[in-house]
Structure 1
């Protein structure tokens, strides 16, 4: 277990398995320190879980349709793991690997994973790094990757937050705001285009109760049993992607990132997910906010590209700013 930070600020516990966030303990608005991140009790639970709880996911976060794409004129075929598609890097993605500790201080830990050429079908040897850093009331996750051959890379962090505490039950009464004018409708998880959020449950431009959006009768929400959609975040560069708050513990976190999209997932679990306390997390017990490139970008050349070439460095920055 790798521990970064110290009370009264955030303290994160990180695992080498999946470079995963095990716990995230903060001083909540009511003065009580709580772990606000869902987790698993054991390695066995983590490997058996279908939910990517707290993990660093890649090579390609989210989905690639048909588990194949064309790169520089040749077809790349991937290992499929969800209805014929590639999800979060395939059946043996980065979330299931042991990462190597590169360095550790009181305030930061850096982990590295080397993914060989052909890993899950992806071309090129990719060296990925994730750095967890605690600074004041904030936690920063910096994701980087390099390659020795053209490939695609889209990394993200798959933490589930519950600002009332990881075992507090549903996040329906949490309030979410996302500065996004457009979202990506999906058919069986694969985006079909980009549409305005106006008049839909994906209009989170004003603070919205999570349960109100996730329990909507909208056809997109009904098909996903909640929210599991990418929102195109307004602007460029490092900017606020979301604000999440809860009236129960008077706790708030702002999520900042430099990515074009934010996957909002209301933990629509369709299988048992073992909890950190030894029980079961139920649907809606956490909220995953995952900054990333858009899903299935290899099939949408008009969207921000996921192609990474030798000599380039993939970078993604995620910040949680607690209040």
Structure 2
């Protein structure tokens, strides 16, 4: 048995007055993670550095008002389809579906009211928190009633595991991820200096002017997209996307198999985060679209002050037959496991 405990308290209310609860995971190593039943949002990740100093490495807000009014998906589970769908539409089995357009010409992260903006039912089972949401047929334009379960668990080895399952009554695209924004120097740090990244993707999916994959699966070798050996993140960001850093999907291997895909180390503090996933893609995003935002403890978050590593299917998969399929059918179960392991270097 693990020594991890889960406690529950009230965090605030939704716009229509429903109570939002916060669940706090604590293990024996001074690691504390807090999540909400609204959007499955991770609000805090408190981890020690090599000297034992504990800091929160996850961007977010001190109160519900922030998440309701100004959050760029901080810590949330995004769905029914995370990332972008070009033109906000797709065809499936001969039928056309129109979705909300909420990101230039695209549908982003499930539409105007995605999985990040709803209350989930919760069950605590030992050291595991299970969150469940039933998305109605035609919600945000998507076909099928989809039942999704997200499970969070923190181990004594400082592994935070997210498991997702989903079933549907009609064929529908599904692509779930968590959108935590990390800064291993501590949330509120102004930039990503001192961070070293390794991301084991041999290929990536190049983008057009609307941040939509062109359909090409390109080799990273010989380009600034090659992160297979550890490189300083801030330096590499300046070489990518005209200096605007990363907002790219990396192809990290076969889906369905849990494999190590990325490591980020903050050299000055010694904090390290390892990412493993069963997903075929990992979105590396370095917060180029983050506008000055008042966050926790009165800190104003700035552009390029955090990174996201979002396990996923490739963006806009519904329009690219050469990408791994994101279509879930009624006789199938969507399953994903992604882990974030926190530690220190000596």
TM-score range, shorter chain: over 0.9
Picking from 172, 178, 182, the partner of 1:161 is 182
Question: Is the contact between residue 291 and residue 302 of structure 2 (CA under 8 Å) also seen in structure 1?
Answer: no
* Structure 2, unaligned runs of 5 or more: 1-21
Residue 314 of structure 2: SS of its match in structure 1?
coil
Pairing 1:46-125 to 2, within 5 Å after superposition? 46-101=67-122, 103-105=123-125, 107-125=127-145
How far does residue 280 in structure 1 lie from its aligned partner after superposition?
Answer: 1.5
Pairing 1:1-323 to 2, within 5 Å after superposition? 1-101=22-122, 103-105=123-125, 107-136=127-156, 137-187=158-208, 188-192=210-214, 193-216=216-239, 218=240, 221-222=241-242, 225-236=244-255, 237-323=257-343
* C-alpha distance in structure 2 between counterparts of 1:182 and 1:5, whole Å: 37
* C-alpha distance in structure 2 between counterparts of 1:78 and 1:172, whole Å: 39
How far does residue 143 in structure 1 lie from its aligned partner after superposition?
Answer: 1.3
* C-alpha distance in structure 2 between counterparts of 1:242 and 1:52, whole Å: 21
Q: Aligned-pair RMSD on alpha carbons?
A: 1.5
Question: Is the contact between residue 261 and residue 277 of structure 2 (CA under 8 Å) also seen in structure 1?
Answer: yes
Q: Deviations over 1:64-92 (max 9, x none)?
A: 10111111111111111011211000111
* C-alpha distance in structure 2 between counterparts of 1:59 and 1:235, whole Å: 22
Question: Is the contact between residue 10 and residue 138 of structure 1 (CA under 8 Å) also seen in structure 2?
Answer: no
Question: Is the contact between residue 172 and residue 211 of structure 1 (CA under 8 Å) also seen in structure 2?
Answer: yes
Q: Deviations over 1:28-75 (max 9, x none)?
A: 222112211111122221122251100000000100101111111111
How far does residue 106 in structure 1 lie from its aligned partner after superposition?
Answer: 5.4
Residue 82 of structure 2: SS of its match in structure 1?
coil
Question: Is the contact between residue 5 and residue 107 of structure 1 (CA under 8 Å) also seen in structure 2?
Answer: no
* C-alpha distance in structure 2 between counterparts of 1:130 and 1:85, whole Å: 26
Equivalenced residues, count: 318
Question: Normalising by the residue count of structure 2, what TM-score does the alignment of the two structures yield?
Answer: 0.88
Question: Is the contact between residue 245 and residue 288 of structure 2 (CA under 8 Å) also seen in structure 1?
Answer: yes
How far does residue 312 in structure 1 lie from its aligned partner after superposition?
Answer: 1.3
* C-alpha distance in structure 1 between counterparts of 2:335 and 2:273, whole Å: 23
* C-alpha distance in structure 1 between counterparts of 2:126 and 2:60, whole Å: 22
Q: Deviations over 1:195-246 (max 9, x none)?
A: 1112222100110111111111x4xx128x2100000014551101100101
Question: Is the contact between residue 254 and residue 279 of structure 2 (CA under 8 Å) also seen in structure 1?
Answer: no
Question: Normalising by the residue count of structure 1, what TM-score does the alignment of the two structures yield?
Answer: 0.95
* C-alpha distance in structure 2 between counterparts of 1:273 and 1:125, whole Å: 35
Q: Deviations over 1:92-139 (max 9, x none)?
A: 1111111111x1145221111111011110000111111110112211
